[in-house]
Chain A
Amino acid sequence: MINGTRRLGGLALAAMMFAAACSSAGASPTLAPTATPAPATPTAAMVASAMPSVAPSATANPVAYTYRCSHGDNKTLSGAGATFPYPLYTKWAADYLVQCGVQVNYQSLGSGAGVKAFTANTVDFGASDAFLLDSEIAAVATNGTPVEIPVAFGADVVAYNLKGLSAPLKMNGDIIAGIFDGKITKWNDPAIAAANPGVTLPSTDVSVVHRSDGSGTTSIFTTYLTDVSTDWVNTVGKGDKTKSAGKTVTWPVGLGASGNEGVTQGINQTDGGVGYIELQYALANKIPFADVQNSSGAWITPSLASVTAAANLATYPADLRFNLANTPAAAGYPISGSTWLLAYQDLSKVMKSKDRANALVDYLWWAIHAGQAENPTLQYASIPATLLPLDEAAVKSITWGGTPLLP
């Protein structure tokens, strides 16, 4: 009863929010409107997923944040990394240009390239779907301490190209591991048949497509496989869990393609093709993807809702390095992942101008607040309410020679 009332209230509030957003024409370049605070963000997000056709503008921000634009003469920022959130970051860049007049140039080269560019300090911020490993943190020690800020959450789906199926296939961890380590070679394999009773599977060969570039999407996917399949760890990692999961692994079979786009292309082109791509790419290309069994035994369809459920952890570690793979959440999608923006804590060591440092923190602050409104339309979950204070603390911890840049 109480649940129903709360849900109704949430619905009404969200409806008012969206109505307000739709009526306001375009983003205003200054302060956000002081609307009434929304209920816990996960509820709003779940409701939002039920109304996918509504497009919130950049001003649909429920809390009264002020966005500083103290970039001075510096009107550009450059970042590089993950292809996973590329659609989101380009949308943010367009919105932020209107907001602050700063051009945020983001190039999607893959998480591996993002980490390398961040390490070599050839960009202002990096982006990666995998948090920095201890070795990577050690490697940047000369530049300073990295600050990792999770800003969005998405799903790696197992997409396939098979004709004649009327419903999504069901796959569990063993099946997925078997496909990608080459043990399952035909689609009508007994393991797949067992999980999909009543479905006539074609006898087509399984054609694996994986990433040829260092990829956070790969990292999310292989972390999941390492968690659920000892067979995977033995075949790909030679027993070593640190080798069977990561941005690059030694694939026993399959075609390598560049970026989420390349893998999508590869799956599309081959009958019997299968690969792992971000949810948005599968939806946009209308490629079928599998329902995956999570640790509670439920068959979960990848969606904004199931990712949000997985992203909602009880507690988050202070350094913000966490894994969503094989989530314990009952309704959570097991191959979910987070994506981080990477910056250095003391920008005076890595940037030449304080204006540029200010520009960066302003952008990061905007991204974790106003930017989040763009997440749902692009099928990314927003930062949960419990995580937001930690993200804010992370951005506020960025300094110029010891003095925090944000007041």
Chain B
Amino acid sequence: MTAGKLSPSAIQDAPRRSMVRRRLREGDLLLRLVALVVTAGALAVIALMMFDSVRTAWPVFQNFGIIGFLTGQEWAPAFTVYGAWPFLYGTVLTGAIALIIAVPISVLIALMVTEILPPRIGQPVAIVVDLLAAVPSVVWGLWGLLVLVPVIRPFERDVAHSLGQVIPFLGPPTPGPSYFAAGLIIAMMIIPIVAAVTREVFASTPRLQREAVLALGGTRWDVVRSVVLPIGRTGLVAAILLGLGRAIGETIAVTMVVGNNPLVGGSIFSPGYTLASVIANEFNEATEPLHPEALIALGVVLLGLAIVVNGAGLIVRRRFERSAGRGR
């Protein structure tokens, strides 16, 4: 441990060093000042960017009304008609599909790593699952479009022609790129996050209660059912919210497999659109009146959603950490 150049003799000489100490305290002030300026500056720049976006998008909100914009079903730049609903719908639907697939798998993985496998095997397994997060979005999109979509298309067609005849939501058309394909890819991208947080949650289950159940003759499943899951409930909610927050913001992978159709598709196998992907596709070329502003407005909506979901996730997580701490 490097404790600087202060030696016992230097401390003993302290009274004679009041001048030096004052200069050192000024150094302290300097540090505080620098930290303050940098922090305030960085945050101010970012806040400025956010504020500027809202200001740019304001004409769109004025024109259509905030509710009108959010529920508008038609997105037609050629006619200067802008409605965010198809994209909100797509974002929520793909996020929901992703969660339905990813959460059970992540919870089971977390159980595997914390409860079932011995730590020496569990650790590497956890690392490999985390490595799913290392695959960049563009690679997921690429693989999704070229490999996954052709592979699941027969499956989609079968479901559409069987169950889909009864439940239109699961019916045709099945061109391949769709809400479902996007949801599937997003699921793969959020599994590492949800699994990691859930793992932490389960790992912090109080040993006392866990061993009590075992002492009473419970099986591993009893431990999970009666101790781990109930105590980790809040943490699990936090994990789900964080996963959803990440799902909402996914852009490049989604835009390659979602089908890019700005209409509300009737089934999960229809091509659709999400907030992030329409911005990615159209922003570079938006020249019609109000088109760039409308896209920035979508960005503001996306930002709002991300803040709400992630904020909720963080609050729940902090509450869980506090209660878990107490349980120990």
**Contact, chains A and B (beta carbon distance below 8 A):** yes
Residues of A within 8 A of B (CB): 109-117, 119, 136, 139, 205, 207, 212-214, 238, 243, 246-251, 254-258, 265-266, 269-270, 273
B73 contacts A by Cβ under 8 Å: no
What is the distance, in angstroms, from A101's C-beta to the closest C-beta of chain B?
30
23 contacts between A and B (CB under 8 A): A111-B285, A115-B287, A116-B284, A119-B287, A136-B287, A205-B173, A212-B260, A212-B281, A213-B285, A214-B282, A238-B79, A243-B78, A247-B285, A248-B78, A251-B261, A254-B271, A255-B175, A255-B176, A256-B260, A256-B261, A256-B273, A257-B260, A269-B150
Taking a contact as CB atoms closer than 8 A, the residue among A246, A256, A270 that contacts B78 in the complex is: A246
Bound complex: CA A246 to CA B285 (Å): 13
Chain B residue at smallest Cβ distance from A258: B281
B76 CB-CB contact with A under 8 Å: yes
Asked if A110 contacts B175 (CB within 8 A), the reply is no
**B145 interfacial contact with A, CB 8 Å:** yes
Chain B nearest CB: distance from A247 CB in Å? 7
Residues in A neighbouring B150, C-beta threshold 8 A: 269
Kindly supply a per-residue 1/0 record for chain B positions 163-176, scoring 1 wherever the CB is within 8 Å of any chain A CB and 0 otherwise.
Answer: 00000000001011
Closest 9 CB pairs of A and B: A112-B285, A256-B260, A214-B285, A212-B260, A113-B284, A113-B285, A250-B76, A243-B78, A255-B271
Residues of B within 8 A of A111 (CB): 285
A258 in complex: contacting residue of B79, B176, B260, B273, CB < 8 Å: B260
Chain B residues 255-291 with CB under 8 Å of chain A are 255, 259-262, 271, 273, 281-282, 284-288
Residues of B participating in the A interface, judged by any CB pair closer than 8 Å: 76-79, 145, 149-150, 173, 175-177, 255, 259-262, 271, 273, 281-282, 284-288
Looking across the interface, which residue of chain B has its beta carbon closest to that of A212?
Answer: B260
- The CA of A258 and the CA of B77, in the complex, are separated in Å by 17
Q: How far is the CA of A109 from the CA of B281 in the complex (A)?
A: 10
Contact A258:B255 (CB < 8 A) given known A249-B78, A250-B76, A250-B78: yes
A270 to B255, CA, bound (A): 18
In the bound complex, residues from chain A placing their C-beta under 8 Å from that of B259 are: 255-256
Chain B residues with Cβ below 8 Å from A254 are 261, 271
B273: A residues at CB distance < 8 A:
256
Q: A250-B76, A250-B78 are in contact. Are A265 and B145 (CB under 8 A)?
A: yes
| Nearest-Cβ distance from residue A134 to partner chain B, whole angstroms | 13
Contacts of B262 in A (CB 8 A): 256
Min Cβ gap A377→B in Å is 29
**B281 in contact with A213 (CB, 8 Å):** yes
Task: Tell me the complex Cα distance, A114–B286, Å.
Answer: 10
Residues of A contacting B177 in the complex (Cβ-Cβ under 8 angstroms): 255, 266
Which residues from chain A contact B271 at a C-beta distance below 8 Å?
A: 254-256
- List A contacts of B287 (CB < 8 A): 112, 115-116, 119, 136, 139, 214
Q: How far is the CA of A109 from the CA of B173 in the complex (A)?
A: 29
Closest to B280 in A: A258
Bound-state Cα–Cα, A246 to B78, Å:
9
- Please give me the residue from chain B that is nearest to A119 by CB atom: B287
Whole-angstrom CA separation of A266 from B150 in the bound complex? 11
B131 to chain A, nearest CB (A): 28
B160 CB to closest chain A CB, in angstroms? 12
| Given A243-B79, A249-B78, A258-B260; A110-B284 close (CB under 8 Å) | yes
Q: Indicate which residue in B173, B260, B286 contacts A116 across the interface (CB closer than 8 Å).
A: B286
Complex Cα gap A385–B15 (Å): 95
Residue of A nearest to B289 (CB): A135
